[in-house]
Amino acid sequence: MLARRARAVAFVAGGLALVAWLAPTPAAMLPVPAMALAGCAMLRPVARRPGLLPASIAALVGLFLLVREVLPALGWLPPIGLGGSIGLSYVMFRLVQLLVDAAEGEASAEAPLLSLLAWLLFPPSFLAGPIGRAQDFLEDLAAPAAWPSRDAWLRHGAGIVGGLFGVVVLAAGPWWVFRQGLAAPGAVGLAAAALGFAAWLWISFAGYSRLAVSLAALMGVRLPENFDRPWAAETMLAVWSRWHISLSDWFRLYVFNPLLKMLLATTGATKQAHWLGAIAYVVTFLLMGLWHGIGWRFALYGLLLGVAAGVNKAAQTLLARRLGKQGYAALKRRRDYALASSVGAVGTFVMALMFLWLPAEAVSLAILPAALIVAAVLATVLPAGRVVADRAALRIEAHRGQLAAMQLVVLVAALALGLSPPPLLYQFF
């Protein structure tokens, strides 16, 4: 019991310290513990009276919008914006998940407050935001604490070094391309910026995810994998099953599935479920976009992804009906179809990301030829990239220790020579 409490205290203190370090002002960090305490206070009432769940979720979302948008606009809090409210949206997601699970009897409402706060503020989770369930974390926290074995230090230490190497060294190149593309005029500059930003985002997120999982493992906590080569996806939906996996799962379980169920129950149009599913995807991704911020650019970001996902799902259903199961399977095996699907899926995501960084005054018709350039580059790079990545994965696994040593040497040398690490992902998310 003492060990569990000591670990919980350390996790809470570490999470708050990380939030304070990354927040622009002391006041900007206060909403995180405030929301955590408010959500934990709702847990037992919701577990006893599930009918309180909608009002509780509305209160959490309202508090999030109040702190993120309203109070800064009134001048009562410093402008928070993207990145400033470090961990706030993450804590909100976890609390909604906890309250839903408690209302459905899947999460215990009797967990100690300190343990719940440790789950909400677990430091490695802030690095990449895997949204794991409280039940799994509390189980790990209650397990007897043991010092990591030598094999664990070597395995997870290699993960930590590899994550840092990706975030600092590998991501620096795409970030430079992004900055150069912003300064260049016309469609070519926009295309370079779009590709550079997407590559920086994915490399950085892969590094943060590896850091989070490895650090948590050394602390005796299992975190879900959150990244699995989204550039290898062949459909828009597959991109989201590989990119920020836990966030995608969260929106599917707590937004998309209930929304589709409601649409089916309201309309009774079970034979048109694919069209209703397309509508549910549009709404789900629109909400995901607005979660990043309130404004037209975030709405367009989510709307473009939602329309692409909805069209993707409807097309899959219609093609399967028209061609039959075997015919559709044969179509998917064709290289030209697979390449076109992959370029369309990854290219749509790359272009949608533009709404998060492109200044409003820079929006022009140059986006259309830029999209064609992006598609042409992806059609060339994606097939070769997959082959290289698959072969590299086998070598990395076979020579993990030697690779980690090389990465550490290059990382230290790069920093010593003055390499400036790219910005944190929270600047945009």
d(CA 84, CA 93): 17
Domain boundary among 94, 109, 142: 142
Which residue in the block uniquely carries the two structure tokens 């206060």?
30
Q: Are residues 101 and 181 in the same domain?
A: no
d(CA 335, CA 338): 5
pLDDT at 98: 93
pLDDT at 109: 83
What tens digit of pLDDT does each residue of 347-374 get? Answer: 999 999 998 888 766 777 788 999 999 9
Q: Does any domain span residue 66?
A: yes
Give the burial string for 11-32 (b: 16+ CB within 10 Å, else e): bbebbbebbeebbeeeebbebb
Give residues with Cβ within 8 angstroms of 284, minimum separation 6: 251, 252, 255, 256, 259, 306
Domain boundary among 118, 142, 166: 142
Is 400 or 98 the better-scoring residue by pLDDT? 98
What tens digit of pLDDT does each residue of 289-311 get? Answer: 887 777 788 888 999 999 999 99
Q: Does any domain span residue 362?
A: yes
Q: Does any domain span residue 112?
A: yes
pLDDT at 77: 67
Give the burial string for 243-267 (b: 16+ CB within 10 Å, else e): bbbbbbbbbbebbbeebbeebbeee
pLDDT for residue 377 is more than 80: yes
Q: Are residues 212 and 306 in the same domain?
A: yes
Is 344 or 82 the better-scoring residue by pLDDT? 344
Could you tell me the pLDDT band of residue 29, with boundaries at 50, 70 and 90? confident
Is 405 or 81 the better-scoring residue by pLDDT? 405
Other C-beta atoms lying within 10 Å of the C-beta of residue 147:
8
Mean pLDDT, rounded, for 52-78? 84
pLDDT at 428: 59
Q: Are residues 162 and 105 in the same domain?
A: no
pLDDT for residue 274 is more than 60: yes
Is 204 or 185 the better-scoring residue by pLDDT? 204
Q: Are residues 282 and 157 in the same domain?
A: yes
Task: Kindly state the percentage of the chain with pLDDT values over 90.
Answer: 49
CA-based max dimension of the chain: 65
Q: Which of 27-31, 162-166, 298-302 has the highest mean pLDDT?
A: 162-166
Asked if residues 359 and 205 have their Cβ atoms less than 8 Å apart, the reply is: no
Q: Does any domain span residue 323?
A: yes
Q: Does any domain span residue 147?
A: no
pLDDT for residue 133 is more than 80: yes
Domain membership of residue 389 as a residue range: 153-427
Q: Does any domain span residue 75?
A: yes
Q: How do the residues of the chain divide into helix, strand and coil, expressed in percent and rounded to 5?
A: 80, 0, 20
Q: Are residues 179 and 50 in the same domain?
A: no
Q: Are residues 137 and 171 in the same domain?
A: no
- In the three-class reduction of DSSP (H, G, I as helix; E, B as strand; rest coil), residue 365 is classed as coil
Pair of tokens at residue 240 = 């989201």
Q: Are residues 178 and 133 in the same domain?
A: no
pLDDT at 302: 93
The alpha carbon of 309 is separated from its chain's Cα centroid by a whole number of angstroms, namely: 17
pLDDT for residue 197 is more than 80: yes
Q: Are residues 83 and 110 in the same domain?
A: yes
Q: Are residues 126 and 233 in the same domain?
A: no
HEC string of 312-364 equals HHHHHHHHHHHHHHHHHHHHHHCHHHHHHHHHHHHHHHHHHCHHHHCCHHHCC
Q: Does any domain span residue 68?
A: yes
Domain boundary among 142, 167, 185: 142
Q: Are residues 69 and 192 in the same domain?
A: no
Q: Does any domain span residue 243?
A: yes
- Alpha helices (runs of H) in 243-295, residue ranges in sequence order: 245-251, 257-267, 273-292
pLDDT at 113: 95
Average pLDDT, the chain: 87
d(CA 354, CA 221): 36
Q: Are residues 134 and 162 in the same domain?
A: no
Could you tell me the pLDDT band of residue 247, with boundaries at 50, 70 and 90? confident
- In the three-class reduction of DSSP (H, G, I as helix; E, B as strand; rest coil), residue 113 is classed as helix
Q: Looking at the 3D structure of the chain, how many domains does it have?
A: 2
Mean pLDDT, rounded, for 81-87? 51
Mean pLDDT, rounded, for 20-45? 86
- In the three-class reduction of DSSP (H, G, I as helix; E, B as strand; rest coil), residue 206 is classed as helix
Q: Are residues 159 and 124 in the same domain?
A: no
Mean pLDDT, rounded, for 110-119? 94
